[in-house]
Chains A and B, each alone.
Chain A
């Protein structure tokens, strides 16, 4: 018995010794806990098979992804070699010295051409139009819409809708139609509701939701180069956009006051709402019959245009950056070289990742792979994002403080709210000595 035990221990010791020498090279990528991170782990397993370098994708729930990453950065920790960071972090990551400058790498591989232009601008470059790059676009994402095809195609509903609004019930052609259809399907007595939108104010959910209205109404958050906000975020177009977003809240299911991607997918899976706003990254589970009983009857569309025909969507998605405190920067660069290859990008898309590679996005194969890939492709060429300056979190907080009581609580007018927000933002930019 004792002999067996000794043998066993010796065996464990030997295998440990061997394994450490075999995987002397390891890389750790940090990301949030969601399906795309699992797809990425599958992808990088192939890298290990090809090169012997073990890559681990470490994850943490979305709610504390930002906090955990920056705590590690602030401590100059080398736990992660690469991080798939949110687009808003570019300012803090680059000016704080946490990200490795990838400009040379970017130019060497001509990534400005290889990746979709919007993704390069939003996930990689900081400051805007500076030609300095800090990340490689990894997961493209934007806000789109899912809807209940069976409700929309029901002949009785179609007839009733046409009688009431004077046009055909179909996928909304503009924001006015979005509003009408929401109102039409809002039937609390039948436990059916019009629409599900983002309202959570603890991070960027409500900002992303409002941006869909703002950008499509032709409004802007401000001038990204001069940091002028007064007269832009409180312009007439922005006020009309806020009115429109606030009005949609009337047609949401009850208790829709702290909602983000989980709740908005539930609105479809629970059969609560006719239409639901969400990031494309969360659509795969809506097609899965195990997670969505209405999978067969779920359709998708891109964020519709506003009254003047402008059509944009709020950007999600992330780029991958090398952490400047990592001891494996050389190896990380080699990994990125592998990651940007066309073959890898194609595999990435097949596994369920949203590639940013222009060639893959434009291929018919990609666009026909799922019911939402085409809407995704269309959207990725017209996306806009929130401020990416290091103090973006303060700007976000100010937006939440002003907009939330208005949208959910009905306080103040849209004009008053946006005037106040312009004042907050102006003061914040002044505090950090930006523009104006």
Chain B
């Protein structure tokens, strides 16, 4: 049935010259991919949706009882969970804003003719090539109040970056900004270099100020690609785990994914953690959708 709808393979392609038919391509590539997706993505997704309505615990042999919406009700009424969400939101805002400001700023600086531009760009990209766990471990040393190099360099004495409940989340965000600003920088740089030079020349002839040039020419033209960077970073920041988990154990840095991990793999409340995972999933999808809508609007301009 499906074969009837398929168009014939273009005779000039390499696959056709090797004698591959549409059907063999489907059998070789499409079906395994779909099967893979079903087995490793779709099935677990639906299975965990079922578990989210039960009191299942993976650590016992007790059968899973259907409890309806109880998990969702209890989670959404739990003040600790809401504080985890509030912390996550605060973290996302601070860290993504910081990354965009730093990343875009550095990109602006690099978007001109300077010596060793390629080398500088490559060196600036190094942080995001490191493993999250490694970054977490050595920033923990950098922040250390007794022998950390940050307090020494800034002359802050024994300032407690990670032990101070109010400061800890910002300390984690600063590490994240250090690590991921290069990513924003890279995308911004691509956007900036694509802005036609003649627009700047025209603006200069019209004696437009540098602020005016930036807000009327540079930003609107780089906006679509910057939005993509923001979408990626927001999604990543929303589900951040490694840095916060390694750097501190403050309740003020317990972002939602750490709570989820503890619930699922330390407390083995499998059913309830599935429900929490779904709540997080729905939130991420909603936020991403808002961005994508905005991105489309920006592109239309």
Contacts and interface: CB of A to CB of B under 8 A. Distances in A.
Interface string A196-218: 00001111000000000000000
B225 to A, nearest CB: 39
Contacts of B249: 200-202, 257-258, 404
Given A254-B145, A258-B248, A393 B267 contact: yes
Which of A255, A256, A401 gathers most chain B CB within 10 Å? A255
B266 A254 contact: no
B50 to A, nearest CB: 17
Interface stretch (A67-75, A151-159, A175-183, A333-341): A67-75
Size bracket of the B interface: 20 to 34
A391 interface: yes
Interface stretch (A27-35, A79-87, A91-99): A91-99
B121 interface: no
A343 to B, nearest CB: 37
Interface string B237-265: 00000000100111110000000001001
A401 B80 contact: yes
Contact of A70 (B144, B158, B268): B268
A49 to B, nearest CB: 37
B106 to A, nearest CB: 30
A257 B251 contact: no
B163 interface: yes
A97 B269 CA distance: 17
A405 interface: yes
B98 interface: no
B59 A254 contact: no
A272 B147 CA distance: 12
B265 A67 contact: yes
Contact of A96 (B61, B163, B269): B61
B22 interface: no
B160 A254 contact: yes
A400 B258 CA distance: 14
Given A200-B249, A254-B146, A404-B251, A188 B158 contact: yes
B187 interface: no
A409 B60 CA distance: 36
A436 B246 CA distance: 39
Interface in B138-191: 143-146, 158, 160-165
B217 interface: no
Contact of A401 (B158, B161, B163, B251): B251
A95 B60 contact: yes
A213 to B, nearest CB: 20
A408 B267 contact: no
A409 B165 contact: yes
Contact of B163 (A201, A257, A390, A391): A257
Contacts of A434: none
Interface in A376-391: 390-391
B124 interface: no
A328 interface: no
A114 to B, nearest CB: 31
A305 interface: no
A408 B165 contact: yes
A258 B144 CA distance: 12
B58 interface: yes
A66 B61 contact: no
Contacts of B160: 254-255, 257
A408 B60 contact: no
A391 B60 CA distance: 10
A92 B262 contact: no
Contacts of A71: 265
A70 B59 contact: yes
Contact of B59 (A73, A201, A401, A405): A73
B59 A96 contact: yes
A256 B59 contact: no
B192 to A, nearest CB: 41
A394 B267 contact: yes
Given A256-B163, A270-B146, 16 more contacts: A92-B60, A92-B268, A95-B60, A97-B60, A201-B249, A202-B249, A203-B266, A254-B158, A255-B160, A255-B162, A257-B160, A393-B267, A393-B268, A396-B266, A400-B251, A404-B251
7 contacts: A96-B60, A257-B250, A258-B162, A272-B146, A393-B266, A401-B251, A408-B165
Interface of B: 57-61, 80, 143-146, 158, 160-165, 245, 248-252, 262, 265-269
Which 4 pairs between the two chains have the least Cβ-Cβ distance? A257-B163, A254-B145, A393-B267, A255-B145
